[in-house]
Amino acid sequence: MLRLCAAVLLPLAFWPLAASAQEEPPPSRCVAIAQALPSATYASFTAPKAQQPMLAEAFEYVLRGWNPDGGPARHALVVDDVYIRNVPTDIRNGGDLGKYGNSIFIFEVAGLCIGHLGHLHHRLEDAHYGAIGRLDVLMVPIDGGMTLSLDRMTEITTRLYSSMILPMHRHSTPISEFTGRMGDDFAVEFLSGRSLTVSLKTLPDRPTIVILEGV
């Protein structure tokens, strides 16, 4: 079974890891769930060139969140019991938005839909939400500026309304600035460890922001 690693390897592992999309992508459970919800309307970026050979040697599959040949990256890959797909977004390049420079990666495994927003630099449109679908677990950057402002990231997190939210990519931003913006609809839980085990049965009944040690 594929293991999803966090901590220091997280940006590398999920930075657009080069398998081409399958001609007939497996059906997405996340999207199917979202389409079944009446109220539903339904991000990583270019790694430094020096890291790219290292990634190719370290991992069997390197799914890049950008397309070196131009246009959006497209991934729909099954590795063991994990279905991995992406939703392309843009990335800030200087003062402009670079088209399709980032991907939101979605991992569907053991009945769970897990989303990683990547280096998201703009608000999501309805088409993005539709392609993402329902996420049980959401990894969201809360640096407050290198990606998006906390207000914009709160807007996206609230709309996705995942059962478990894992803040990441935090530098000097006080964690309370994010949790406070999320409001009373979201519980907050601080864990003493740097990892956790979650299953469909153990998801919290109420949407919960889970703060791992070191975040």
Under the banding of pLDDT at 50, 70 and 90, the label for residue 24 is low
CA torsion sign for 198, 202, 206, 210 is negative
In which band, very low, low, confident or very high, does the pLDDT at 142 lie, cut at 50, 70 and 90? confident
What tokens appear for 102 in the block?
């980032």
Element (H, E) at 187: strand 187-190
The pLDDT value recorded for residue 83 is 92
Q: What homologous superfamily does CATH list for 7-211?
A: Ribonuclease Z/Hydroxyacylglutathione hydrolase-like (3.60.15.10)
Tokens describing residue 127: 């088409």
Does position 10 have pLDDT exceeding 90, yes or no? no
Domain ranges of the chain: 7-211
pLDDT of residue 39: 30
Mean pLDDT across the chain = 77
pLDDT tens digits, one per residue of 148-172: 788 998 999 999 999 999 998 788 7
Q: CA 73 to CA 151: how far, in whole Å?
A: 28
Residue 68, token pair as written in the block: 């070196």
Cα distance between residue 158 and residue 172, in whole Å: 22
